[in-house]
A and B are shown apart, each in its own frame.
Chain A
Amino acid sequence: MKKVFYISLVGFILFSSFSIIQSEGLIDKTKLTADCKAKMEPYKYDSQKFTKINFNENSQLLEIEVPVFIGEKYRIVFNTNALTTNKININVYTKSKSSSKRETIFTTNGDNSNTGEFVFDVPRVRKLFIDYEVPADASANKISGYILMMVGYK
C-alpha cells in the first residue's frame, strides 16, 4: 500500500510543477524577444509589448494602439509561442474598434503555418490598431499566456 502513497506523492509533485509551468513561471520572455528581434532585421528595434491573455468563458477583443509616422517604414513581428492555444486571431486595422470606417490591413486568420511568428510590413498610415481576438474557452479558465508584439523601423 506504500506504493499508493508514493504514487500519490509523485502525482502531487507533478501536478504542482505542471501548474506552475502553466501559470507562466517558465515563460522565457528574453527568448521570445530574441526570436522577434531576429525576424526584425534589417529594421531597427523601436518598442515591444507583452500582452497577457487570460482565457475565460467570454470571448475578448483586446486592442493595442500604435502611433506611426507617415513617410517612415515599419515592420511588426508577433510571437504567439507563449500561448497555450493557437486559436487567437491577430488583426491590424487602420482605425480603432469604435470606428465604423476601419480597414483590415493584416490578419492571421487562415494562416496555418504554425510557426507562432508573424511578420508584417506596415503601409502608409498614422496609427495602427492591433486587435487580438481571444475566443471563449471555459475549459481553459485561468490558464494564461502571452503575445509579444515588436515594432521596428528603418
Chain B
Amino acid sequence: MISTKKSLVLKGSMLMIAGMLFASCNNNNTPKDENTENLTDSTVVSETEATNNVFYSLPSPLQIASIFKKSGLKYQDGITSDVKEPSKYTTSLLKSINLGIYSADLSYCVLNKQNQAAMNYMKLCRQLADNLGMGSVFEQNNLSKRFEKNLGNEDSLAYIIAELQMVTDMYLEENQQPQITAIVFSGAWIESMYLGSKLYETSKDKTMGTKLSEQMTILGSIINALKVVKDKDPAIPSLIDDLQNIKNDYDKSPSVSAKTPSKDEEDEAEINLTENEITQLTNKIKDLRTKFIKG
C-alpha cells in the first residue's frame, strides 16, 4: 500500500515537473503571432534592430495622397499605372511593391472623385492581395461592397480605405509578415512621388517642389524599416540599394547639403530644391517606378 502511495506521489510529482518543463519550453518558443520585434530572441531579430532597439512606423498611402492633394495635386488623366494584368508579377516583392503602387493610385483617384478609375484600382488591389494570399481582408466588414455603394462620396471612401488599411495591417501582424508592410509602402511612396513629379512637370509649382523634398525626409525611415526585415525576402536588399541610391543623390544635391549642417537639424530644415535638382530626383524615381511596373 505504501509502495502504491509512493508511486502515485511520484507520478504526480513527475507530471508537475513535466508541466513546468512544458510551460518553460512554451515560453521560449517563438509564439504564433510573434513578429520580428521580439527583442531578446536574437534568432528572429535582425542585428541592427536588436542592437539599436529602434523600430519604424510608416504612414499609409492614403495619408501621402491626402498631403499632395492639399498641396494642390490635381487629377491628371493617364498618369497612374496602366498595368491591368497583375498576374504578370510573379515574385512576392513585385506583387507587394505593385500593390503599393495600386494603393497610391487608388487613393489618388478617390481623393479626386474619379469613381470608375477608383473602382478599377480597387479591383486590381484585390487581385494582387489575392495573389499574396491576403484577399480575405477585402471581405472583412463588407469593405468591398461598402466601397462600391459609396462611390461618389469621397469622405466615405477615404474612411473605407483607411479601414482597409487597418484590417490589412492586422492581417500582416497576425501572420508575421512585416516585410510586406514595408515593401507595399515603398511602392506607394514611389508612386506618390511620381504623381507629384508629373504635376510639377506641368505646373512648375514651387509648393509641389517643397512637398516632394518634404517626402524625402521619410525615405530614410522607409530604408531603415526595410533593413529591419531584410532577412525575410532575398529581394529586399536590392530594393534597399535602389532607394539608398536615390537618397544618396538627393543628400548630395547642393540645396540639401547646404541646409543640413548636423544630424540634429536635419529634420527641421525646409528644403527648396532648384528646378534642376527636382528634375534629377524625379527622373530617378521614374526609372525605379518603370523597373517595378515592368516586372
Contacts and interface: CB of A to CB of B under 8 A. Distances in A.
Interface of A: 1-2, 4-5, 7-9, 11-13, 15-16, 18-20, 22-25, 27, 29-30, 33, 37, 44-54, 56, 60-72, 95-96, 98-101, 126-127, 142-144, 149, 151, 153
Interface string B24-42: 1011100111110111110
21 contacts: A5-B11, A7-B12, A8-B12, A13-B19, A15-B19, A15-B20, A15-B23, A29-B33, A30-B170, A47-B169, A48-B57, A60-B39, A62-B54, A62-B55, A63-B53, A64-B57, A65-B57, A67-B217, A72-B63, A101-B264, A127-B221
Contacts of B264: 95, 99-101
Given A5-B8, A29-B173, A47-B59, A19 B26 contact: yes
A44 to B, nearest CB: 5
Contacts of A72: 63, 67
A22 B264 CA distance: 41
A128 B225 CA distance: 15
A56 to B, nearest CB: 6
Contacts of B59: 46-47, 67-68, 151
A128 to B, nearest CB: 9
A31 B26 CA distance: 24
A88 B37 CA distance: 17
Nearest to A37: B166
